[in-house]
Structure 1
Amino acid sequence: MSALQHAVTAHADTDTPLEYQNPHESVKITGFWIFMATDMLLFGCLFATYLVLRTHTDGGPTAHHLFDIPGFTAETFILLTSSFTGGLSTLAMRLGKRKQVMAWLTLTILLGLAFIGLEVQEFAADVAIGATMQRSAFLSAFFTLVGTHGSHVSIGIVWMVLTLIQIARRGLNQKTARKLFIVNLYWHFLDVVWVFIFTIVYLSGVVM
């Protein structure tokens, strides 16, 4: 075995995940963790605002009247499933299986689109009966919180599509591995935020 082949083999056998093998790419992952911390502050403020305003309906529709249990349950199931498939794409990347990465990432994108489709239908149904942002402080807080999460999901879908294209063209390397890892990290974060929305907004809304 030549010295070059030995170096390649040693590099391939390393226990360090592919996305962390390049210090430059590793620093970018650390930077993204910092970005997510600031996003947590954003959502924290939106949740606090909603909790203060959720009873300020001004005689308009309340959460109990608006929220459709089968609808938000389906949204939750779809989004949590997409987090699982996204995790499987990361696992496939760690195993060096490009086709599996692309398959799982494609499925994650489709599930994300299904989630957005259901959310758009929910918002359209609310608006159709006059439950708009302008109707009450409760609705303003609701649409702002859930809509901000939905916009994040939409950005995540576009991001995953671009990552999928890069993996298809360039294969799995340290750079594309870092991009895949970060977009899945972002996606998992959005799932955690949705669990709080599901609990604080929807479940408490239909109970109260």
Structure 2
Amino acid sequence: MTANTADARTVSAQVPDHGLSQEQLQEAFYDLDEHDHPEGGSTMLGFWIYLMSDCLIFAMLFAAYGVLGGNFAAGPGPKELFELPLIALNTAMLLFSSITYGFAMLAMEKGSVKGTQLWLLVTGFFGLCFLGIEIYEFTHLIMEGAGPWRSGFLTAFFSLVGTHGLHVTFGLIWLVTLVIQVGMKGLIPANKRRLMCLSLFWHFLDVIWIGVFTFVYLMGML
């Protein structure tokens, strides 16, 4: 008798026979042997790891801007290109979106589906305003001949600010998806966990933008 045959007989002795074949009995044994996994813990840990990797990406982009930010190639610099009042308005849009997302989380804790959806939509509106102003800025710069190919400064600028804008775009897609999911399934634990992850992501983007506003725009205008 081989070891595999002995193991199969052991399995059949441990699992009741309900008219199943030997292979089905073995599959049933392994299914029963699986242990429960606590829902949510690994998701949050994985999301924190993702945020840390995103921090490294932005750290490299900030470092690249620090090195290339003074290479104008006889072209325009920050003082000639940046419109600080417009950028301040754009910053306000993103900060307002962070506040309204906080209201969405408060509505979630109260169990209000409609309130959560409403504040998420308001957050999305401010996020769209932020993107609209940023697209206008990029378009205006390119039309003036100050595209990312013009100098090392502009290459680093478009890379840093554009990467942040891309993250905001993905955040808005995620936000709309959650609005639909909350409407369909309510504030179930899985949706609450997703809202918490998006909250971390959204506030993370706010912190990064404060760095961009200070390091790129304000210091560039000095």
Q: TM-score range by the shorter chain?
A: 0.7 to 0.9
Q: Which AA in structure 2 matches 1:87? A: G
Pick aligned residue for 2:84 from 54, 61, 69: 69
Identity of aligned residues (%): 44
Tell which structure's C-alpha radius of gyration is larger. Answer: 2
Partner of 1:199: 214
Which residue of 42, 46, 56 corresponds with 1:31? 46
Q: Which runs of 5+ in 1 are unaligned?
A: 1-21
Deviation of residue 28 (structure 1)? 0.4
Which TM-score applies when normalising by structure 1?
0.88
Partner of 1:180: 195
**Equivalent position SS for 2:201:** helix
CA distance in 2, matches of 1:183, 1:97: 18
Q: State the AA in 1 paired with 2:71.
A: H
SS of 2:76's partner is: coil
1: distance between equivalents of 2:117 and 2:167? Answer: 22
Q: How far has the Cα of 1:128 moved from its partner?
A: 0.7
Runs (4 or more) in structure 1 with deviation over 2 Å come to none
Q: Does 1:86 align with 2:132?
A: no
Alpha-carbon distance in 1 for matches of 2:174, 2:220: 32
Match of 2:114 among 71, 81, 99: 99
Query: Whole-Å Cα distance in 2 between the matches of residues 24 and 67 of structure 1?
Result: 47
Determine which of 134, 137, 141 is the counterpart of 1:126. Answer: 141
Secondary structure at 2:71's aligned position in 1? coil
Q: Partner residue of 1:52? A: 67
| Structure with bigger RCO (C-alpha 8 Å, 6+ apart) | 1
Shift of residue 185, structure 1, vs aligned partner: 1.0
1:24 CA displacement: 1.4
TM-score computed with the length of structure 2 as normaliser: 0.82
Q: Which piece of structure 1 moves more, 83-92 or 192-201?
A: 83-92
- Inter-partner Cα distance in structure 2 for 1:150 and 1:163: 20
Consecutive unaligned residues in structure 2, runs of 5 or more: 1-36
Residue correspondences, number: 186
Match of 1:10 in 2: none
Q: RMSD of the alignment, in Å? A: 1.0
